[in-house]
Each structure stands twice: as C-alpha cells, then as structure tokens.
Amino acid sequence: MSEFQGRVAIVTGAAGNLGAALCDALAVRGARIAMLDHNQDALARCQAALPADTDAEIFATDLIDANSVATAIATVRERFGTIDILANVAGGFSMGPSLEDTPDKTWNLMMDLNARSVFNMCRAVMPIMRDAGRGRIVNVSARAALAGKGHMGPYCASKAAVITLTETLAAETKHAGITVNCILPGTVDTPQNRSSMPDQDHTTWVSPAALADVILFLASDAARCVTGAAIPVFGRS
C-alpha cells in the first residue's frame, strides 16, 4: 500500500498544468485531495479527470485574500479531518518593461500570485500541522529566483521570496515534525510554453509529471530529513 494512502493533501493551483498532474499522481497513490484554485469550472473539469474512486473535493479560493484562504482551510479540515500535505503550486508569470518603467500593478500582481499566496496558505495550515505533530509543505519557486533577469524583476523577486519563506518556515518548524521545501523548475513543458516558444527544443524541458514526482518525494517519508531545501529541477534546458 502506498504511503500516501489516506493522507490528506491540499494542492493549490489544482486546475493548472502542474497542479492537475500532481493531483493525478496523488490520486493513483491513494491520497485524499483538496483541490484549490480560483476557477470553479476548471477545478470541476480536473476533478472529473481523476480516477473514479478518488476522494477529492474542489474549493474555489482566492489565494491572495487571507479570509478566503482561512474559510477554505476550515472547510477542508471539516471535510477531511486533518491536513498532512500542502503543495503550493499556484503562481503566475509576467514579462515586463525595465524595472524603472514597471507599474505598481505588475509588481503587486507577481508578489501576490507567487509570494502572498504561499504566505497565506502556510499561515493558515501551520496550526493544524503543529497540532498533529507532523506535516509536509512543498512550495513551487523557479530557476528565475536564483538570479535577476532583465524585464523579469517582479517575477524573479517574487519567486526568490518563496525560497526565503521556505527557509524561514523550515527553521521555525524543524522540531515540530514538519518539513518545508521548495522546487525550482526550469522551463516547464506546457501547451502555453510550446505556443509562446515554438522554436525551442521542447524535449529539454521538464514535464509536469516529472515535477510532480519531485514534489511527491519531498512529501514522502523518504524525505523526512530534508527541510529548508530549494531543489533545482531544470531538465536539460
């Protein structure tokens, strides 16, 4: 029997490419899944695509709004009883002008989608994991967090914030039976990226399924001694 059998996992951004792949990987391993995203219809489609016997429920949630997150977490706990795994997959990407020409709206959007969403979710879930004396949190940062790039300042900064949040929370929970790690994907092989970069060698990119495998490892007992890590998952790109 899989070690994920009966474990309760929250996946944010569950209607996206990586979120859907992770939900599918958790489902085939017997996990019970709370699927969070802002798009109710897209969530319903992803839920319908899971194996027929999957114990999964969808929760339309504004991850940027702390009250919406708190309500969702309370409902998840009422429905499933506990929370064993939190995978913060939701996020966004935007190129832009030079930093001096970047409007507040662009800066705030990247910080909200990539950093505030992680902060809100971790803050809401931590008391439940502390009470249980165990938990696994896996955040999704990006290779772009490691060095600033031109016309990508808000995105790079927001993903760097995810690494710092991960390290901070890992330090605060290292004696609580909880691990907190993040992954740093390179270019992910999605329909959107193929469309925007048609001349690139897609075979060197990282598939959502491969990223899901790394998240599953970090959520497993095999990674019980790994916390505060930022794991590069670049493929061959």
* Residue of 80, 107, 119, 155 marked active site: 155
Q: Is 220 helix (H, G, I), strand (E, B) or coil?
A: coil
Please give the structure tokens belonging to residue 215: 């998240």
Note whether 29 and 53 are within 8 A (CB). no
Note whether 46 and 23 are within 8 A (CB). yes
Give the residue from 154, 157, 152, 163 showing the smallest Cα distance to 232: 163
Is 107 in the active site? Answer: no
Which residue carries 């939190």 as its tokens? 86
Residue 39 one-letter amino acid: N
Packed helices 66-80 and 117-132: angle between N→C axes, nearest 10 degrees:
30
Please give the structure tokens belonging to residue 128: 């439940």
Per-residue buried b or exposed e for 98-128, using 16+ beta carbons within 10 Å of the residue's own CB: eeeebeeebbebbbbbbbbbbbbbbebbbeb
Note whether 228 and 167 are within 8 A (CB). yes
Within 10 Å of residue 42's Cβ, how many Cβ atoms?
18
Q: Which residues are catalytic?
A: 155
